[in-house]
Structure 1
Amino acid sequence: MQFKDKVVLITGAAGGIGIAAAKAFAKEGAKLALVDLNNEAITKAAESINSKEILLLTANVAKEEEVENYVKKTKEQYGRIDVFINNAGINGEFKNITEQTVENFQHVMDVNVKGVFLGLKYVLQVMQKQTSGAVVNTASNGGLLGAPGMSHYVASKHAVIGLNKSAALEMAPYGVRVNAVCPSGVNTEMMRRIERNAMGDQAEVARKQFEASVPMNRYATAEEIADLMVFLSSEQASFISGSYYRIDGGQGATSV
């Protein structure tokens, strides 16, 4: 119960990784504040999480006043924020750069970059005053590599890693740690959307191709990503900050 009575705030909490993270922290005794755009989905997700202390918050992470509000309500409910899992993200519609729309590009950047930035802006104010806290940003192996048809998503995740490094340096004097996880494909509904985006009605073919690109020949589970998030938030990672961790079944070993 290493997170007993600790307050853990999670965005994108109704998604596969978000739910897995909530369950993992709840198992360790944490008090939870769960944020998602979809109120029905976040309510349903909470029913599967074994915790007596869960605050449910509906917010669009790309809107500053709504981010400020979810941070304010978490602070009002619990008095502090010990861990922030800055996890909300989308993949957008796949198209080559020459065919990509400005609207789709902007939408992905709003959620994946602006949403991460705003979460950091307001949560770090709380942690700075506490002189303690741990943040885990959800990046991607797409933040380290390129991918055809995914320029908007890849660019957004490169930006998350840049924000992660800068935030870690700014917060180091205050005892606040900031790290990121960089998963390859994770066996969640988001990956189903990516498969359909890539090959339409041949989504199962896309899945086999994606899995074959991983040396371990499979997707990660959401629970495996959550386990890394828990570790990076724990005292066992007390001297780790500004880092980004591949969790990709060896995929990163195939590149420079």
Structure 2
Amino acid sequence: MLIGKKLCVLISLLVNVLLLSKYGVYGNEHVLPLAADKIVLVTGGSSGIGRGAAEYLVQSCAAEVHIVARAAQQLQTVKDALQGLNTSCQHKTKVFVHPTDLSNVSQVNELFETTLADVPIDFAVLCAGITGFLGNLIDTPDEIFRNVHDAVNNNFYATALALRGVLRIMAEQESGSIVVISSDNGVSSSPGGSFYGASKAALINLVKSVAVEVAGYGIRVNGIAPGLINTPITWNQARYPALQPYQCLSEENTTLTADYTCDEPECVCPNLSREDYYNIEPISEIVASWPIQRIGEPRDIATMIMFLLDERLSSFITGQIISIDGGLTAEP
């Protein structure tokens, strides 16, 4: 009964966020949109959940959206795509891109101490992450433990560095709201993906601990634990079990292939079609067993991100992790 009530509350919140994003608070069109005049930082914004969040923020009339990721060329493509999205806003959102390896301390310090030093960040969405090695720990080769581009370094360490940079800016302002993207694999056990699951579980503890540390500065920190979402990182998980370098999808045929690989830690591969997706094992079986039998979309995550960011909607919420997974974690 308690789980059912929690689900009803979450569904109600999501419906409210969708209505609010269109009509303003309580249907009043004169109330500012959710991100109006806000300056927002999005890490991992070149694809997947991060890009979906950036799109939603632009459509919600943010003043500035700063996107951070490794791939400079892909960032420019995203910037070009976002420029014309907020046609219904009173002003045009300024989109900035910052090619940065967030696992590199020097680059992160340069980003926050120089590039963004005078940027008063109101909101931050920390999405950067990778799948990394998928396989049982007993079979994990030595190379994975030495690979600085794998999940633990990129998902936890890099996010912690970015979070520190954002917190230092927000602490001076004595205000701010941050959403960190973890994973359902960090909420429950992750057989065959222990490195990935452990890195995401570490983020959950980081969110809860830091939220308490910075509450006195007027900063709220929350997290989201997505299930399977329609993003490149999900398609790469579909080729389980995996080895380095990461196996990607055929650009020409949009099918899984062992011939097309990506050595970059942020391995963004051409997507399968939705029809092909449901034929991939074991994902098709997983989706069929969920209460809501579909894969999630980046927008499903973006609406909750907006709810958690906005002070008008969630000012009494901090240190919380919200699972968005089609009801998977609600099952006994």
**TM-score relative to the length of structure 2:** 0.73
Partner Cα distance (1:171, 1:208) in 2: 42
Match 1:68 to one of 96, 109, 114: 109
Query: What is the letter of the counterpart of residue 44 of structure 1?
Result: T
The residue number in structure 1 matching 2:291 is: 215
Superposition CA RMSD, Å:
1.7
Partner Cα distance (2:184, 2:237) in 1: 14
The residue number in structure 2 matching 1:42 is: 75
Counterparts of 1:150-189 in structure 2, within 5 Å, are 150-189=193-232
Moved over 6 A (4+): 199-203
Residues 189-231 of structure 1: CA deviation (Å, up to 9, x unaligned): 1111000124876971233023124221111101110111111
CA contact (8 A) 2:79 2:96 kept: no
Per-residue deviation, 1:8: 0.5
CA contact (8 A) 1:17 1:225 kept: yes
Query: What is the letter of the counterpart of residue 326 of structure 2?
Result: G
Per-residue deviation, 1:104: 2.8
Partner Cα distance (2:143, 2:37) in 1: 42
The residue number in structure 2 matching 1:252 is: 329
Partner Cα distance (2:189, 2:306) in 1: 28
Counterparts of 1:231-242 in structure 2, within 5 Å, are 231-235=307-311, 236-242=313-319
CA contact (8 A) 1:33 1:74 kept: no
Structure 1 position 132 matched with structure 2 position 175: yes
**TM-score relative to the length of structure 1:** 0.93
CA contact (8 A) 1:135 1:233 kept: yes
The residue number in structure 2 matching 1:230 is: 306
Match 2:235 to one of 181, 192, 204: 192
Residues 40-84 of structure 1: CA deviation (Å, up to 9, x unaligned): 1111112221254011100111111211222231343xx301111
Match 1:94 to one of 134, 159, 172: 134
Count matched residues. 253
Partner Cα distance (1:14, 1:211) in 2: 26
CA contact (8 A) 2:121 2:170 kept: yes
Partner Cα distance (2:286, 2:199) in 1: 21
CA contact (8 A) 2:71 2:99 kept: yes
Note closer, same or farther for the CA distance 1:102–1:110 as it changes in structure 2 (3 Å cut): farther
Gapped runs of 5+ residues in structure 2?
1-32, 86-91, 243-255, 258-276
Identical residues among aligned pairs (%): 30
Counterparts of 1:105-124 in structure 2, within 5 Å, are 105=145, 107-124=150-167
CA contact (8 A) 1:198 1:206 kept: no
Query: What is the letter of the counterpart of residue 21 of structure 1?
Result: A
CA contact (8 A) 1:185 1:210 kept: no
Match 2:184 to one of 138, 141, 147: 141
* Bigger radius of gyration: 2
Residues 75-133 of structure 1: CA deviation (Å, up to 9, x unaligned): 43xx3011111110000121101011344355211100101110111110111110000
Partner Cα distance (1:7, 1:234) in 2: 12
The residue number in structure 1 matching 2:282 is: 206
Q: Which structure has the highest helix share of the two?
A: 1
